[in-house]
Amino acid sequence: MRVIFDLFRDGLSAIESAANQMALARQQVVTGRRISVASDDPLGMQQAIGEHATIGAIDAYTQTRDSAAARLSAADSVLNSMLDKLSAAIVAATDARGSNVDPAARAAASAAVRGLQQSLAGDLNTKFNGTYLFSGTQSTTASYANVGGVWTYQGDASTVQLEVEQGRLISVTFDGQAIAQGSDPTDVLTALNDLANAIDAGDNTAIGAGIDTLNRAFDRTNRAIGRLGADERTVDEAATRLSALRLAADGRRSHLEDTNMAEAITRMTTAENAYKAALSAVSTAERQSLLDYLQ
Amino acid sequence: MSGLFASLTSASNALNAQRAGLEVVGQNLANVNTVGYTRRVVDLAELAPADAFSAGRGVEVLQIRSLRDLYIEGRLRREQQGVAYDTAVVQGLSDVEGAIGVPGSSVDGKIDSFFTAFSTLANDVTSAPARDGVVAQGKALAQAFNDLAARLVESQQNADTAIGGAVDQVNQLAAKVAQLNDQIGAGGPGLEALRDERDVALAKLSDLAGVDVIQRADGLVDVTIGQGHALVIGASSFALDASPAAPSGFLRLSSGGADITSQITGGRIGGLLSVRDSVIPGYQANLDQLAFDFAGQVNALHQTGFDATGAPGGNFFAPLAGVAGAAASLSVDPNVAANSALVAASSTGAAGDNGIARAIAALRDAKVMAGGTATAAGAWAQFAYKVGLDVSTAQASMQTRGSIVQQLQHLRDQASGVSMDEEAAHLMQFQRAYEANARYFSTIVQTIDTLMKMVE
């Protein structure tokens, strides 16, 4: 068989092939990326896009979860504050009830109740990041307004919900009327007003009715705190899950996209050696022929 | 006397034959690096004796011929067509592949940011910056679709331009082959050089257009393109015509008035046509469908909502006329683009309700694209996979065919290539033979001289 080595065609082809391999290996080491274009690994590319989408979704849920946690925390704080105020009002009313309470004590008690009412109205109209927490979905409107001496609920019964995980909704605004009034004929603010008037008048029957109303408001607030606490736990658990999911997705993404450095450096070294070998082989390929031996 | 003079003639013939051999060796060595050169050999034959009492009349040069293997040449041309086709596909799609970029950096990244913007808006629908963010991300997403659609059209146009250039080359080469056919048909010296030149032209022609070469009994070749359309018949060539045609304005190729564009499936032009007329339109259809589905899904939800003023929502994206061209024309509705308060985030009209913003954000995980089989990111991933697979398949095919071409080139070299060692051996062989014949000639001359002295 006649064996012919074409220096330019075969030699350059071998050098180019080795150089391409070396360049590819170098690129992977330098960029740290296993996939630079889709054709590097089409299936890997497809999966990596999926992982990026998953990570994007997890990050969005995490952002939402953080927002929900902040709102729930604020609402929790406000509801506990309301609880304290209701307790204080009940204590004040209880102290003012009876036949041996002097007018000055009643005046002080009624003043305290009126002060607590104002403070409670402030609680119910709490804003967080510019939106009212207790107006349902009417979050740009104050929950309660005193219009012509009558306290009026201006929100609605719906709530703003945030999706903290896929399919898991958490309410981050509240139906203020459900807390402040429930099934009572009057809301707690009106009830406090009536209670203060009853204390001023020394009307023990009305004071007793007012205390009962406050106790029911206390219970409703307590139940709201309980529900909110459950939501806070859900949100906390979501944080743990989202963090774990993020870590796992990032690991999968890295496995698909990032260069295995040890492997890439080994491949680069091998490619460099192959390149040098190709250069050497080509440079010596036609160094000698029979012509060198002819006299 | 007559015998000695016949010996002189015989020696002279032999010297001529060995000189011819040396000339062939010189020609082979001179063309060791000439592309398409096929090595020559000199065929010698004994000159039979004139009668039963003489040894013979020496040697004669029968012919100097090229060693070419037509079967291997044909296979080589066919495989080179394939390599040229794959190369054209890889080069034609490199821009598209580049536009897709790495995961998270192209349309998929914009899709993700768009949904995240709606998610952020859902967290606080009363936030004006969040509304602005939704509009900005909507614009960015539409721009990403527009840019990629433009890139696809640009790639088609590049392929079209390259086709035009390749057709010019095909016509030049066809004319050259016809001219060489004419010269070969006329006969005379230098036929092998003409055949070599014609083979080189045929190889280039095959690279360009995937032609069929028909070897004729008279030594000429006919060349056809497509489904048997004549490109070269003997000494005549028939130029391909490349003219722009509506509606695309892309070149259509015709031969003798017949449109043969779809018939050219090999060589560089075949690859470019495939990229221009088949591969990229497939991508455009996928991208348009994705843009159309995306805009449709978002608009369908958006229209059920209420904007920041409590008014019913309209379209978020400007309505698309149809699937075709959707990616190129996708844009945020001009009213929404001008006033982010028109983003419909509320499902009830209540200022704080975020039902629609949440629902649009939830589209991220919903399989509502591609006929309900994929999420938006999934549909994009499928698109990227298809492009990557097409390129890597063409690359793999190119490498495989490249290896086959290399093997065939080695086979061709075994038959037709010039070996320095072999030529050196031949050089020595003819040189020694020439020396020996010269010595013989000298001996005969001396013998005649001796004989002449006897008669003085």
**Number of domains comprising chain A:** 2
Q: Does the pLDDT at position B189 exceed 50?
A: yes
Instruction: Give chain A's mean pLDDT.
Output: 91
Asked whether residue A277 is assigned to any structural domain, the reply reads yes
Find the closest chain A residue to B121 by CA distance: A64
pLDDT tens digits along B392-441: 999 999 999 999 998 998 898 888 888 888 899 999 999 999 999 999 99
Cβ count within 10 A of residue B357: 29
Q: What is the mean pLDDT of residues A98-127?
A: 93
Which residues constitute the domain of residue A289?
A: 7-32+259-293
* Residues A12 and A84 reside in one and the same domain: no
Find the closest chain A residue to B127 by CA distance: A130
Q: Strand A150-153 and strand A161-165: pairing?
A: unpaired
Two tokens, residue B421: 């060692």
Look at the alpha carbons of A89, A95, A99, A102 in this order and tell me if their dihedral is positive or negative: negative
Are B409 and A6 inside 8 Å of each other by CB? yes
Asked whether residue A40 is assigned to any structural domain, the reply reads no
Q: What is the mean pLDDT of residues B224-242?
A: 94
Is pTM beyond 0.90? Reply is no
Q: Does the pLDDT at position A80 exceed 80?
A: yes
* Residues A112 and A15 reside in one and the same domain: no
Question: Any idea what the Cα angle at residue B150 is, between residues B147 and B156, rounded to 5°?
Answer: 145
N- to C-terminal Cα separation, chain B: 15
Q: What is the mean pLDDT of residues B112-141?
A: 95
CA-to-CA dists, residue B300 to A162, B356, B370, angstroms: 21, 10, 16
* Residues A154 and A21 reside in one and the same domain: no
* Residues A174 and A241 reside in one and the same domain: yes
* Residues A284 and A213 reside in one and the same domain: no
Please tell me the distance from the alpha carbon of residue B89 to that of residue B83, in angstroms, as a whole number: 10
Strand order in the sheet with B251-255: B241-244, B251-255, B258-259
Asked whether residue A133 is assigned to any structural domain, the reply reads yes
pLDDT of the residue at A285? 67
Cβ count within 10 A of residue A86: 23
CATH number for the domain that contains residue A242: 1.20.1330.10
* Residues A66 and A193 reside in one and the same domain: yes
Are A162 and B406 inside 8 Å of each other by CB? no
Q: Which residue has the higher pLDDT, A278 or B271?
A: B271
* Residues A21 and A130 reside in one and the same domain: no
The amino acid sitting at B282 is G
pLDDT of the residue at B53? 80
Asked whether residue A45 is assigned to any structural domain, the reply reads no
pLDDT tens digits along A49-71: 999 999 999 999 999 999 999 99
pLDDT tens digits along A195-238: 999 999 999 999 999 999 999 999 999 999 999 999 999 999 99
The amino acid sitting at A242 is L
Q: What is the mean pLDDT of residues B288-304?
A: 96
Q: Does the pLDDT at position B145 exceed 80?
A: yes
Asked whether residue A177 is assigned to any structural domain, the reply reads yes
The amino acid sitting at B18 is Q
Q: What is the mean pLDDT of residues B37-57?
A: 88
Are A130 and B422 inside 8 Å of each other by CB? no
Asked whether residue A39 is assigned to any structural domain, the reply reads no
* Residues A165 and A28 reside in one and the same domain: no
Name the band, by pLDDT with cuts 50, 70 and 90, for residue B2.
low
pLDDT tens digits along B245-261: 998 899 999 999 999 99
* Residues A75 and A203 reside in one and the same domain: yes
Look at the alpha carbons of B376, B378, B380, B383 in this order and tell me if their dihedral is positive or negative: negative
b (16+ CB within 10 A) / e for A26-48: bbbbeeebbbbbbbbbbebbbbb
* Residues A11 and A125 reside in one and the same domain: no
Name the band, by pLDDT with cuts 50, 70 and 90, for residue B57.
confident
Q: Does the pLDDT at position A295 exceed 70?
A: no
Two tokens, residue B39: 């090595």
* Residues A190 and A239 reside in one and the same domain: yes
Is-contact B313 B356, C-beta < 8 A?
A: yes
Task: Measure in Å the smallest separation between the Cα of A292 and chain B Cα atoms.
Answer: 9
Asked whether residue A41 is assigned to any structural domain, the reply reads no
pLDDT of the residue at A263? 87
Look at the alpha carbons of B310, B312, B318, B324 in this order and tell me if their dihedral is positive or negative: positive
Paired residues of B63 in beta bridges: B43
Task: Measure in Å the smallest separation between the Cα of B342 and chain A Cα atoms.
Answer: 17
Is-contact B109 B143, C-beta < 8 A?
A: no
Please tell me the distance from the alpha carbon of residue B100 to that of residue B383, in angstroms, as a whole number: 9
Cβ contacts of residue B77 below 8 Å, gap of 6+? B202, B203, B206, B213
Residue count of chain B: 456
Is-contact A169 A55, C-beta < 8 A?
A: no
Task: Note which residues in 30-49 of chain B have CB less than 8 A from chain A.
Answer: 33
Task: Measure in Å the smallest separation between the Cα of A116 and chain B Cα atoms.
Answer: 28
Report yes or no: B410 at the A interface, CB cutoff 8 Å. yes
Report yes or no: B365 at the A interface, CB cutoff 8 Å. yes
Please give the ipTM for the structure prediction.
0.87
Query: Is it true that the peptide bond before B49 is cis, omega within 30 degrees of 0?
Result: no
Paired residues of B123 in beta bridges: none
* Residues A276 and A192 reside in one and the same domain: no
pLDDT of the residue at B323? 95
Are A35 and B410 inside 8 Å of each other by CB? no
DSSP assignment of A10-21 equals: IIHHHHHHHHHH
Are A45 and B381 inside 8 Å of each other by CB? yes
pLDDT of the residue at A154? 95
b (16+ CB within 10 A) / e for B238-265: bebbbeeeeeeebbbbbbeeeebbebbe
pLDDT tens digits along A128-170: 988 999 999 998 999 999 989 899 999 999 999 999 998 899 9
Q: Does the pLDDT at position B1 exceed 60?
A: no
Asked whether residue A46 is assigned to any structural domain, the reply reads no
Are B388 and A42 inside 8 Å of each other by CB? yes
pLDDT of the residue at B378? 95
Q: Does the pLDDT at position B35 exceed 50?
A: yes
Two tokens, residue B92: 């034609």
Q: What is the mean pLDDT of residues A238-253?
A: 95
Two tokens, residue B275: 């990229």
